[in-house]
């Protein structure tokens, strides 16, 4: 029994070391395009809310043999996706700002780069403001899928490029509904520990 316990302890050491080497944090910037489609009293229309974005991410990758890796990553972001219009003496804006996601990853380590696919939960805050009348905020949830690559700059520093598609839940009430989906391009810089 003692030999079995020792064997298990020694076999866990390389895995723990690999796991410790693969935790990372980073920051990103990019561009997002939210497509908003609405139906009000039977009439429908849509518009795009485009803008820049900034955020940070943290996660871990684990090699599972022959170059394959799995991982888990979370991020927070701020998007400048808004549309402002004036009508009847009122100025209003609608858009998204704060967002977050938690994604599972699967990928392949090519040496100088890691290629990955990722997907999971995402959410964002939708806001509407009308000058003189007030504002409203609503957090909406959804799913995200995407692909990217981490390019090794040094042993611990990497650059990232990725694409994501985010599909959010539809807001509805009073015979009206509004749906949101988003295309995102991110570039970033990270550090592995």
Q: What is the tens place of the pLDDT at every residue in 132-153?
A: 778 889 999 999 999 999 999 9
In terms of Cα–Cα distance, which of 103, 28, 123, 12 is closest to 61? 103
Per-residue b or e along 11-33, where b marks 16 or more CB atoms closer than 10 Å to that residue's CB: eeeeeeeeeebbebebebebbbe
pLDDT in tens, 82-138: 888 777 777 878 889 999 999 999 999 998 999 999 999 999 999 888 877 788 899
CATH number of the domain encompassing residue 20? 2.40.160.20
User: Residue 72's domain spans which residues?
Assistant: 2-192
Say what the pTM is.
Answer: 0.82
Contact predicate 97/79, CB 8 Å:
yes
Supply the pLDDT for residue 93: 82
Supply the pLDDT for residue 184: 97
Q: How many domains are contained in the chain?
A: 1
> Per-residue pLDDT for 3 more than 60?
no
Mean pLDDT value across residues 176-182: 88
């Amino acid at each position: 029994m003692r030999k079995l316990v020792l064997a298990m302890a020694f076999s866990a050491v390389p895995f723990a070391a690999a796991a410790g080497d693969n935790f990372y944090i980073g920051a990103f910037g990019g561009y997002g395009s939210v497509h908003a489609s609405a139906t009000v009293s039977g009439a429908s229309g849509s518009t795009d809310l485009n803008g820049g974005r900034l955020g940070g991410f943290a996660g871990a990758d684990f090699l599972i043999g022959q170059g394959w890796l799995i991982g888990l990553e979370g991020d927070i972001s701020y998007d400048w996706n808004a549309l402002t219009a004036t009508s009847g003496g009122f100025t209003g804006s609608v858009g998204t700002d704060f967002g977050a996601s938690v994604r599972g990853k699967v990928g392949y380590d090519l040496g100088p780069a890691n290629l990955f696919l990722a997907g999971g939960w995402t959410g964002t805050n939708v806001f509407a403001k009308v000058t003189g009348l007030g504002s409203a905020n609503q957090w909406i949830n959804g799913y995200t899928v995407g692909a990217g690559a981490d390019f090794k700059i040094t042993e611990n520093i990497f650059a990232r490029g990725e694409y994501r598609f985010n599909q959010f839940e539809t807001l509805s009430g009073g015979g009206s509904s509004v749906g949101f989906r988003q295309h995102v391009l991110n570039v970033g810089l990270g550090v592995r520990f």
